[in-house]
Each structure stands twice: as C-alpha cells, then as structure tokens.
Structure 1
Amino acid sequence: MKLKHIAFIAGSYLPVALQAQEVTTEKDLDPVTITATLNPVASSKTGRNLFVIKGEEISKYPVHSLDEMLRYLPGMEVQARGPMGAQSDFVVRGGTFQQVLVIIDGLRVNDPNTGHFNSYMPIIPSEIERIEVLKGASSAIYGSDAVGGVIHIITKAFARQQTKGQQIQAGVTSGAYGLLNANAGGYYSGDKWTFSAGAMSNNADGQEQRGINGFFHLHSFSASAGYKINDNWRVAYRSSYDSRRFAAQNFYTSFASDTATEKVNTLWNQLSVNYHKNNNNFSLQAGQKMVDDHYAYNKISTANNNRSTLWQALATYEHRFNDAVIFTGGAQYQRKGIRSNDRGNHTVQQAAAFAALNLEASEAFTISPALRLDWNERSGYELVPQINTSYRYGKLLVRASAGKTIRNADFTERYNNYNKSLVTSGRIGNPNLSAERSFSYEAGLDFFASKQLKIATTFFQRRHTDLVDWTTTSYADMPRKDNLSRTGTYALARNISKVNTTGVEADIIWQHSFNSKRHLSVTAGFVWLNSVTSDGFTSFYTSSHAKYLTNGMIRYNVGRFNISLNGIYKVRDAQAAAGLKGVVSKEYFVLNAKAGYFIIANKLNVFAQADNVFDKSYADLLGAQMPGRWLMGGLSFRL
C-alpha cells in the first residue's frame, strides 16, 4: 500500500461530527439504534456491528448524493457506475448488490425488478434524522435481501421522537463540465404537527466517455407530514418523486457497442399509524412504490420499457415487560409486479410473521433471539432463526451473532431478455432459480478507549447455498434456446452450489476537541474478504467485490474555517475487455476534498471542492468509467 494511502487511512471519517461548541461523550460512540432490534436500544446492547450517522452531517462532506455518502462509511463497499447519484450498487461483507436491504422508516426500498435501483432512495438529505448501517445477517427480522446487511434511513417526520423547532437549509454548487447542483429543504415541528419537505437536483454535461459524454440529470422531490392526534396516537405520511436520466454506457454489459442511456422515474408513498400507551407500542405501515425504467442500449436498438410495482404492509407490536425484557412481534406482506417488453408480465407475493426478544440478563450481558416464518409464492415456507449476544466488561465489549439468511431472485434474474424475439448476446434470465440460503456468524470486540475513541473489530463468515449470480454459458448449455442466436455470447443467471465468504473488518472512530474553536473528527474502516466457490467457475458479482477495502473521512474545524477529506482505497481482481476505454485495475485510491469558510457563523458557508483530487482513472465495474478530477464551488445556507 502506498504511503499516501496509509497517511489518509490513519485518519478517515466521522459518524457524528462535532458542532462548534459540542462536548463529546461516550453516547456519540454508542448511539441508540432501532435497526437491529426494532425498538430503541444502545448499539452496544445489540450484539451487532452498527454504524450511525446523523442526517445533518451529510452536507458537510464532499459528497453529492446519499449513495456517495454511504461509499465512505466503514465497512460499506459502494460500486459506483456513475457519479453523483446516477447509479451505484451496495455491497456489505462481500455479498452481491441484491443482498443489502435498504429501508426508509421501516419499509423496504429494494426494487423487485433489479437491485441496481436500490440506490435510488426517494428521500431528500434534509429530511433525514439519521442513517443506520447494520452489517451482517438480518433476515430473521427483515426477510429476503437482508443478507450482507441493512441500510436504514430514519426521517424526521417519521421518527419516534420529534425535535421541536424549525430549520431551513439550501445549497448550490457549480463547476466544470456544465455542473449545476442545487438542494433545498425545510423542517417544522410543533406540539401537534411536523412538516418536512425538500428538493435536490444534480446536473452535468459530463466528462467524455468512449461513445458519449457521461451526462446526468437527477431530480428528487419529497414531502412528509406527521400529526399527533393525542398522547397515544400519531400518524405520518410521505410522498416522493424521483427522476433520473443519465448516460449508462457499460452499466450492464462489457460490449463496445454499448452507448446506453437510461431514464428511471420512481413514485413512493408511505403511511404510518402509531399507538403508544404505557409499555405497549403498536405501528401499522403501508407503502407503495412504482418505478418506470426506459433503457436504450444504443441509438439503433429497441429500448427496454419496464414498470415495476411494490405494495407492502408491516405491522409491529412491542411490549416492555420491564427495562430488561422487551418483546417484539409482527407481520409483513408484499406484492411485487412487473410489466415489461423485455421481461414480460409477472407478479409474486410474500408474507411473513416474526418475533424477537431483547433480554438484559444483567447490566453487562444481553441476549436477543429472533425467529421468522417467511412465505414466498414461488419458494414456499422458510423458517429463519437468529441470535445475538453482547457482554460489556469495563471498556471492552464482546459480541457475537449467528443466523440464517434468505433471498429470492428478482425479475431481472428470472426473466431478463426472455420476452424478445431474438437475442444475439447478453444476460439471460432463468425462471427456475431456487431461493438463496445462507448461514452467517460473527464475533467481535469493541474497545471504548475513551469518550473520544472507539475501535471495533469483527470476524465473520457466511456459507451460501444456491447463490444466484451470472456466469458465462455457451449456447449449447443454455436451458432455453427459443430466442437465442447460436453465435451469441451469453451470461446465464444460475444457482451456484456453495459460496463461502470469510472476512475481517475494523472500524476506528476518533473525535477530539482541542479547544472551543478547534475540532477534529476521524473515522476509518478496514475490510479483508475472501470468497470461494465450489462449482469451479467464476461468477460475475462474487468476483467483483473488493478483496481489501479501506475508506473514511476527516473533518477539521478551526474558527470559521472548515476542511473535509474523504477517500477510498480498494484492491480487487483486475479485468479488461477489448474495445473498451476503461479497465478494472487491481487497485485504486480516490480522494475528494472540500474547504469552506463561514461568512456568517454557522449559517452561510462558501466552499471550494475537488472530486478525485489526483485525477485517478478508475472504474468499479468493467466499462463503467468514473470521472477524473472535477473542480467546483458553491454556497450553503442553514437557518
């Protein structure tokens, strides 16, 4: 590893940045979470490795979208296909991008058509109270897709506790290649009503690619309201619209003829009704998601038009017997559908019942068993257990977790290129795919060295059977040849008998106040992974995850001046393809920098920013070339 990489890793990112006169406490290193257990509990009592970042911190770093923010959180690998929210795949602990579940206020975001759309989170950063990232198996509570981990976004209007007051924030950024980004949002919370709304737009002509420029026009709008009916009842509602049009060259293929463009529109509606009295808490949530996807491979090809729908409902009941014993139970329903000229018209239903118990056997020892009965219209019933434990001894925390995970194939894996009259090359779906199953276990040690420093280490292993991935397959070996050309080059979605992933991760969080005007915040994440398949051939996504990954961010405040850095160093298998402009190099290091000055203290900030400071040529996936150095500047305002 190069010296500049080591220098950056020595201080890297912040989960909870320090405000101008904020005093750091151990609670900043041990925040309350709801993701691991479905009820509020300190992260040290969950037996899990969690990372929490406050929503107000997002605008302080050199990032432009939520997927870019996640890219620098410890343990997160974000395989970006395009910049500033165009498209990204989330990978946690070496799983495929479909094996990370994204949730907004308890409801699933994962798209039934393809996991590539999971980064299209229909939410505005100004609406976010916090983001919780749970690493590792979570299917016992959340069901399908919660294999590698869970990304849970909790918003201000839907949070259990509202902070009274109001806030307005806005920002604008302009730069090279026709860049113009803007965002604005507001929040109000009184005795009865809570309102939150915002808009965000990222636009650029883009840097030159092989066949076209890497343009993007990305727009999000969201509004939510909550009303406290009385001391027991509260209701909240959100509606969001997200529209993204972008260059998608080699996002899904490695062919030189691919000069694709794509437009994805998402409509999201969410309703929550909550009842709380004494030791009982009940919530009923309903959600509707509709995604229209228009994909053109090149100017002469017939475009794919896909409309996917997701209807879902979630009911949960929590009873606190006392401070040491909490029971949570619930039921979930989903109806997934697609109408497509490429994949055909299909629907599938899922339902589940689950129960979890949080037990503090003593002040130091906690144990949390959970059990889920999952039903899928195609794969039938599945019993999914999990158990988590933790033990605190002074500054040391020992934790362990073990559980089963499941995932059902999405519509792209089952039906891609299935409805066309002739397919000459590309990825071919497989309707006969079995559901993925795996067993995961982990053990970790957290060291709370001080109120400012926490070091967490975790060993984990996941043993998969029937993992779904794409593998190069000859025409003769294709199970269905009805619309295939004998001379084509194909990748078939298939179940791989066994895939075992072993890894070690470490997170470092350090926050230090030199005095009332000088603050430093540092976080770094380190991950080592090794995946082994049993079938003797290489699958696409299991071979593309990083073998070694470190990422993080530094923020330094002195008076009205502030500077932040974020970066990533990644080692993976090298790849190349004839005729493509970019390659997947064995390793890369990318650094972004942002420097600002508050013209009005803590309110009006002027900044300059450089993405990819060292002008590194790199790609996370073959052919999907990422931008080189990009210079920009702007203003941000908070009241």
Structure 2
Amino acid sequence: MKFTYIFILSFLIVYSLGAQSVNDTIELQQHEIVSTGNPVEFKQISKTVHIISKEQINTSTATSIDELLKIYGGADIRSRGAMGVQSDISMRGGGFDQGLIMINGISLNDPQTGHHNLNQAIDLDDIDKIEIFEGPGTRWFGANAFSGGLNIITNQNSTKALTVSIYGGQYGYVNSRLAYSYNIGKVSSKTSASYKRSDGYMRNTDFEIINLNHNSTYTKRSNTINLNLGILDKGFGANSFYTSKYPDQYEHIKTYFTALSYKTGNRIKFYSNAYWRRNYDRFELFREDKNWYIKQGDIYINGSDTAGFPTPSGIYPYQ
C-alpha cells in the first residue's frame, strides 16, 4: 500500500513539471487602430466647452492669444515673456504638448515641441471666436487632444474696411497693425500685418514680432472654399529660459503656414483639408550680437566672458 502511494505521488510531480513546461505564448494577429476626428455638434460632446466670442475679444485688454486665454480661463497658461513672446498651454493637468491647437478645425501642433504650439501666425483682430474644450477629445478631434484643446475660428465674412492702429508704452514698446478687408464677387478676403517690439523691462527681455496673415473664403450655395496664409517672424531675449546659469539666451522663430479647405453638403457633408506648416527655430545659449557675444576666432566673447565649454583638451568652441 505504501508503494502505491509513493508511485501515485511521483506520477503527479512529473505531470505537474510537464504541465509547467508547456509554451504559454499565443501569437495574435496584428491589428491597426486609427483615430480620426469627426465633425460633431457641441451638444453631442460630453465635455466642458467654452466659447470666447468676437465681442469678448474686442472688449478685452489682451494683446495676444495667450493673454486672452488668461483672462477668460479654460486653459492653464504659463508665460516666460509678455505680449505673446512665449507661453505654454496645458489643460486638465496635462502637459504643454498634450493639448490640441487648431485653426479652422485644422490641427497645428508643433511636432518639435509643445513650446511652439502658440506660435501661430494670427492676430487677435483676425479671430472671430475661440472654442475651448476640456478633457480628452481624441474621439472627435484626433490623437493630439489628450487633455483638451482649442479651435481658433478666423473671420471669414468680411465687409470692405481699412484699419490702421498704433500705440506704445514704456521700455520702447510699440504695437502697430494694418488690416484691409474686401469682397470680390463671392470671395471675401482679409489681409493684415502687424509689428510689435520692446527694449524689455529688464536685461535680455527685448523682443520683435512681425506677423502677416491672409484669409479668403469663397461661398456658393452649399460649397465653401477657404484659403489661409500666415507668416510669423519672432525674435526675443530668452532671459534664463532653460537655466539661470546662462541668462543671456536668445531665440528666433520663423513660422510659415498655409491651409486650403473645402466643405460641401447639407444632409451629407464632405470635408477636405490640405495644409502645410514649417517652423524654423534658432536657439542661442549665448546671445550673438554686437552688444552681446562676438565671435573671435573659434569662440564667442562678451567682455571677459568666453562662451565655450571646458573639456580635457581645452575649450570647446560654442557652435
């Protein structure tokens, strides 16, 4: 009887060891998941949606999009420069690169870094309204709408008008703008140009911003074609942006943007967009200018300060 128990116990041990050696890896078929935005009415979105109207924009004291968002809320704005020099936008606890930025429904998030998401070639006077939605919206707006986003709607129905404005302030601040709206047949257009500059309220906080924008809309029955062109040229002193060890930083940004959209249909709608955006970003850890660092040989010198990094073989020139 004792021998029988030992035999049965040995059999169970061998069986359990064999069962553990079975390959538990299961090969599954590959599936592709694609997320795209679909047009939807606000009442169908289970999210908090804020709208900043044209009247609110005109009556506000804001001079840039980031300042406007600070006034009316709906987004967390962290600025490292006044007058729209540089700001990051985040929503519902998300990072500065987890929100979606759109102009007329076209996604314009910068692929390099979320620090450039608000560097859009558009002035406040070119905006008809701003739609802000909080919380994840990938189902309706695509994968970039992780924590929320905003949609900037430009003026698409313009009456003939010429607008000129200029004003200034302390520290050499100047803000000027020229805009012309006109209609030719069924085409409504608006072209604007603006220039802002300042010597800065403290060392290395000066800036110079040039903005050009054109918007044309053709409408016939249920067909609408919209063309938007924009150029942004922005240079500014980035005092201690990334480290206080090197306060004399500088950044120069050039952004080019063009978009062509077409929509048609009443009951069954058809949308088509084609757009192109290019952003050039030059960052100088040691600002290069006649009043700052001057290149002498292979290094840059500002007074007694040498712009370079010590290495075992000597000074490596800053490039």
TM-score (norm 1): 0.38
Structure 1 equivalent of residue 267 of structure 2: 279
Q: Distance in 2 between matches of 1:131 and 1:295?
A: 30
Q: How many Å apart are 1:168 and its aligned residue? A: 4.1
Structure 1 equivalent of residue 259 of structure 2: 270
Structure 2 equivalent of residue 128 of structure 1: 127
Q: Distance in 2 between matches of 1:106 and 1:299?
A: 37
1:571-630 per-residue CA deviation (whole Å, 9 max, x = no partner) reads xxxxxxxxxxxxxxxxxxxxxxxxxxxxxxxxxxxxxxxxxxxxxxxxxxxxxxxxxxxx
TM-score (norm 2): 0.74
Q: Distance in 1 between matches of 2:97 and 2:226?
A: 29
Structure 2 equivalent of residue 441 of structure 1: none
Q: How does 1:285-324 map to 2 (within 5 A)?
A: 285-299=273-287
Distance 1:257 1:165, change over 3 A: closer
Q: How does 1:590-629 map to 2 (within 5 A)?
A: none
Structure 1 equivalent of residue 208 of structure 2: 217
Contact 1:92 1:100 survives alignment (8 Å): yes
Structure 2 equivalent of residue 80 of structure 1: 79
Q: Distance in 2 between matches of 1:63 and 1:224?
A: 22
Q: How many Å apart are 1:234 and its aligned residue? A: 2.5
1:95-148 per-residue CA deviation (whole Å, 9 max, x = no partner) reads 110011100011111111111001111112222111001111011222232112
Q: Distance in 1 between matches of 2:223 and 2:167?
A: 42
Name which of 228, 236, 239 aligns with 1:246: 236
Structure number having the greater strand percentage:
1
Q: How many Å apart are 1:56 and its aligned residue? A: 4.6
Distance 1:194 1:299, change over 3 A: closer
Structure 2 letter corresponding to 1:156: N
Contact 2:63 2:124 survives alignment (8 Å): no
Distance 1:299 1:218, change over 3 A: closer
1:202 corresponds to 2:196: yes
1:46-65 per-residue CA deviation (whole Å, 9 max, x = no partner) reads 32211101235324222211
Q: Distance in 2 between matches of 1:94 and 1:189?
A: 44
Structure 2 equivalent of residue 231 of structure 1: 221
1:358-394 per-residue CA deviation (whole Å, 9 max, x = no partner) reads xxxxxxxxxxxxxxxxxxxxxxxxxxxxxxxxxxxxx
Structure 2 equivalent of residue 410 of structure 1: none
Structure 2 letter corresponding to 1:297: L
**Structure 1 residue runs of 4 or more that deviate by more than 6 Å after TM superposition:** none
1:420-471 per-residue CA deviation (whole Å, 9 max, x = no partner) reads xxx979xxxxxxxxxxxxxxxxxxxxxxxxxxxxxxxxxxxxxxxxxxxxxx
Q: What's the secondary structure of 2:239's corresponding residue? A: coil
Structure 1 equivalent of residue 247 of structure 2: 258
Structure 2 letter corresponding to 1:75: G
Rg bigger for which structure?
2
1:165-197 per-residue CA deviation (whole Å, 9 max, x = no partner) reads 344444222111001111232334576111012
Q: Distance in 1 between matches of 2:151 and 2:115?
A: 17
- Report 1 or 2 for greater relative contact order, CA contacts < 8 Å, sequence distance ≥ 6: 1
Q: How does 1:231-630 map to 2 (within 5 A)?
A: 231-251=221-241, 253-276=242-265, 278-299=266-287
Structure 2 letter corresponding to 1:267: Y
Distance 1:58 1:83, change over 3 A: same
Contact 1:56 1:128 survives alignment (8 Å): no
Q: What's the secondary structure of 2:120's corresponding residue? A: coil
Structure 1 equivalent of residue 33 of structure 2: none
Structure 1: stretches of 5+ with no match in the other structure: 1-35, 304-422, 426-482, 484-639
Q: Say how many residue pairs are matched.
A: 258
Q: How many Å apart are 1:299 and its aligned residue? A: 4.0
Structure 2: stretches of 5+ with no match in the other structure: 1-36, 294-307, 312-319
Q: Distance in 1 between matches of 2:166 and 2:124?
A: 14
Q: How many Å apart are 1:156 and its aligned residue? A: 2.1
Q: Distance in 2 between matches of 1:227 and 1:297?
A: 46
Q: Distance in 1 between matches of 2:161 and 2:130?
A: 19
Q: RMSD in angstroms over aligned alpha carbons?
A: 2.6
Structure 1 equivalent of residue 107 of structure 2: 108
Q: How does 1:15-164 map to 2 (within 5 A)?
A: 38-39=39-40, 41=41, 43-157=42-156, 162=157
Structure 2 letter corresponding to 1:248: A
Structure 1 letter corresponding to 2:167: T
1:287-335 per-residue CA deviation (whole Å, 9 max, x = no partner) reads 10011111100147xx9xxxxxxxxxxxxxxxxxxxxxxxxxxxxxxxx
Q: Distance in 1 between matches of 2:252 and 2:174?
A: 19
Structure 2 equivalent of residue 487 of structure 1: none
Q: Distance in 2 between matches of 1:267 and 1:74?
A: 28
Q: Percent identity?
A: 25
Structure 2 letter corresponding to 1:89: D
